[in-house]
Amino acid sequence: MTKIATKKSLAIVLLGLFISLSALISQSVADELRGTGDLGVIVERATGTLQIIETTTRTRLATIEGLGDLSHASAVYSRDERYAYIFGRDGGLTKVDILKQKIDKRIVQGGNSIGGAISQDGSLVAVSNYEPGGVKIFDSSTLELVADIPAIGADGAPSKTVGLVDAPGQKFIYGLYDSGEIWVVDMTDKSNPAITKFLDIGKLPYDGLITSDGRYYVAGLFGEDGLAKLDLWNMDLGVQRILDNYGKGEQKLPVYKMPHLEGWAKAGELLFLPAVGHHEVLIVNSTTWKEAGRIAVHGQPIFVVARPDGKQVWVNFAHPLNDTIQVIDVPSQKIIHSFVPGKAALHMEFTPRGEQLWLSVRDTGRVHVYDTNSFEELTSLPAEKPSGIFLAARAHRTGL
């Protein structure tokens, strides 16, 4: 064999090795790449940690530490579903990279925050505060402050802010708990927020929701029976009262925990809402905004959550009856299933197409996953005092 032939053979061998190595490297990179559509986080309130979970295999992927006080934490997602923004009770705003499984940025922006929202285009994150009150708005990439909006009511006194949601047109909407107002903040011009204020909406607006089409904002009123509704397409109409005196003539019960309107359920033209101080779920016609019925349930409802197809509504309850979950069949408006997963069954989250329901049970330190057709328990994962469960698919839903 000539030297030239030997060199050619060696070159062929080396080329083959290079191709094989490149294929292995490419395969390794491909194995490491993944999307975020089936990921989510579980808040572990006792330890200030997050679990990153995957719903396809129903497994825990990682635990993230160092998020501060998560006793009433909530989360929103960046539009690419990669980053979760966690709003902590200690005023912490933490940006978590759920792919790299680590904290990307963290700031403490207030003394006691109670929730947040992300703008329609994903560029702004807003935080609602009890202390010192008001709303602060940050750049979602850098967490640099963009706007600081104190909540000074028409009476000249500071107020807690509640029920913060995002709305189309780069808007944020929230209530002033102490002064009974709703504010709409337009952030189209980031350097000059435009604020529209609606006064005297009712006593003690404690929470709010926005319909999935972004048209209606509804505030629950803790100080009286009824709700306050704002049509964002026709704001000149002002705030309208709906469901006035829905509890009239009934004995009011002690309210152990304020229900969450952000856990409202919409199924077709019907809304299912928790009744404050009553063992009932209210049914409201979303076209007329009049009561269409009510369903007696196990206790005072906290979250009333619709399966994505709208055929079922799942309900959990306040202390001392918080060990039970009930499932309402929407067509018949009947309870079709009840079960007892354990004390402090707190938060329910459906997978995007509704085949699974993830449920945190704080006092047993578990998160259970159920098949929503058979109600079979699919798996159970350990967690340190779990509360909120937030899946990445929320990134593409208004108000969540």
Q: What is the pLDDT of residues 377-391, one digit of tens each?
A: 999 999 999 999 999
Over residues 135-163, the mean pLDDT reads 96
pLDDT at 347 over 80: yes
The pLDDT value recorded for residue 114 is: 81
Decide if 45 contacts 1 (C-beta within 8 A).
Answer: no
The pLDDT value recorded for residue 286 is: 87
- Global pTM exceeds 0.85: yes
**Lowest-confidence region among 6-10, 83-87, 136-140, 206-210:** 6-10
pLDDT at 275 over 90: no
pLDDT digits (tens, 9 = 90+) for 14-67: 556 555 554 444 444 445 789 999 999 999 998 999 999 999 999 999 999 999
pLDDT digits (tens, 9 = 90+) for 183-220: 999 999 999 999 999 999 999 998 888 988 899 999 98
Under the banding of pLDDT at 50, 70 and 90, the label for residue 259 is low
The pLDDT value recorded for residue 72 is: 83
Residue of 201, 262, 188 whose CA lies nearest to 230: 201
Question: Which residue is it, tokens 């949601």?
Answer: 165
The pLDDT value recorded for residue 223 is: 80
**Of 16 and 112, the one with more pLDDT:** 112
Decide if 328 contacts 295 (C-beta within 8 A).
Answer: yes
